[in-house]
Amino acid sequence: MNRLAQLNVNWSSSPGSTIVDILEEKYMSETEFCSNLNIDYAQCRGVISGHNEITTAIAEKLVQTLGASKEFWLKREKQYREVLDNLASTEDVKRAWLQSLPINDMLKYKWIKASDNLYDACLTFFGVSNVETWNLIYKADSGNPAFRISPKFESKSASIATWLRQGEIIAEEIDCEPWNKQKFLERIEEIKLLTRQKNPSIFIPKLKAICAECGVAVAIAPTPSGCPASGATKFISSNKAILMLSFRYLRDDNFWFTFFHEAGHLILHGKDRMHIEVTDKVNYASSPEEIEANKFAGEILVPFLYRSELKNIKSNKKKLISFAMKMGVSPGIVVGQMQNDGIISYQYLNGYKRTFNWKDIDEALNKN
């Protein structure tokens, strides 16, 4: 008993580790020990390895062979099994979390590296130490105002969180001047002129540079599977905002409307929450902030003063091109506004919209 009292027992290890320590102290072999217990050798080995549980009968035999009390051995066994149960539960949590993440796309986009330990790789990606911390920051129902999405998209929150996290990582590498709302508003018209540029290698670097001078880090990344986002904004500090874009649909009308919509959030609304634009516009039907951002974007692209002229364009190519030049935007954006206002169907005049591809976008993003 005195020897057992002196042992530094690791309660998370199997009782067998304590048995081995005592056997070494007593210079007793496993064969002798099993013989003294008067049980089958395989069963005895199972007790030492932790595979077999210490029953009341075995605990009584351990008392006779090694000392201590029956209660000691049964408590040792009980606590060890509780540790195993907790570990099993933890593994289930880890497995469920990993299954909720778009791992294949994270690997495809090289947001994480292939690893034997994807759990640690994903924790590193999100900058957290465990799933519990991730839940506090990113889970849709966490109550975190910086990550609040419609209940309609809660099932996709892990994919949305992954995309947003990639935006944060990109933004961390972008040097920005302090956020200046007035300066950003003043340079909106300059940004609008970029809508006429066809080549992403021209307009993306210029867009990022102008925004950085106003305290806005433009982060562009494709959406992983399950993420329905076109754009998002949030402040990562009082002096730096992220404006994130996904190039969803790879069309100029969608890209630029999304940009100015998100710019509207930064200019019109506060710093205390995140805004995400998803593909389902019904999601925003009752949101005053989303309606305001839509109006802001529409007013920038085709000011209200001129919107009545959209009805006169119809399918007249000359009128369409002329009006687009007058507004300082691409013809595709005019078509998009006509569709949005219900003047023409969404299947009409789409040939005027410019399309992009990720090869050109990636080259533009990697351009020095």
The confidence score (pLDDT) of residue 11 equals 56
CA distances from 8 to 18, 30, 86 (A): 9, 21, 22
The confidence score (pLDDT) of residue 46 equals 83
Give me 235's structure tokens: 């402040």
The confidence score (pLDDT) of residue 140 equals 52
Angle, CA 118 vertex, CA 115 and CA 122 arms, to 5°: 120
Angle, CA 266 vertex, CA 248 and CA 193 arms, to 5°: 65
The confidence score (pLDDT) of residue 39 equals 81
The confidence score (pLDDT) of residue 212 equals 98
Give me 336's structure tokens: 């998009």
Phi, psi of 237 (to 5 degrees): -160, 175
The confidence score (pLDDT) of residue 80 equals 82
The confidence score (pLDDT) of residue 325 equals 94
Nearest-angstrom CA–CA distance, 125 and 287 = 32
* Residue segments in the chain with a per-residue pLDDT below the cut of 70: 1-12, 85, 87-89, 140-155, 279-286, 368
The confidence score (pLDDT) of residue 284 equals 46
**Domain ranges within the chain, ordered by starting residue:** 2-98, 119-365
Give me 269's structure tokens: 């609304």
Nearest-angstrom CA–CA distance, 122 and 101 = 9
Alpha carbon 3 to its chain's center: 53
Nearest-angstrom CA–CA distance, 265 and 138 = 21
Nearest-angstrom CA–CA distance, 2 and 66 = 11
Nearest-angstrom CA–CA distance, 279 and 248 = 9
The confidence score (pLDDT) of residue 278 equals 79
Domain 2-98: CATH superfamily is lambda repressor-like DNA-binding domains (1.10.260.40)
Nearest-angstrom CA–CA distance, 242 and 176 = 10
Phi, psi of 232 (to 5 degrees): -160, 155
Are the CB atoms for 170 and 219 separated by under 8 Å? yes
Phi, psi of 357 (to 5 degrees): -135, 155
Are the CB atoms for 34 and 49 separated by under 8 Å? no
Count Cβ neighbours within 10 Å for each residue of 113-146 and write b for 16 or more, e otherwise: eeeeebeebbbebbebeebeebbeebbbeeeeee
Amino acid sitting at position 17:
S
Are the CB atoms for 242 and 217 separated by under 8 Å? yes
Instruction: Give the CA radius of gyration of the chain.
Output: 31
The confidence score (pLDDT) of residue 155 equals 53
Nearest-angstrom CA–CA distance, 233 and 274 = 6
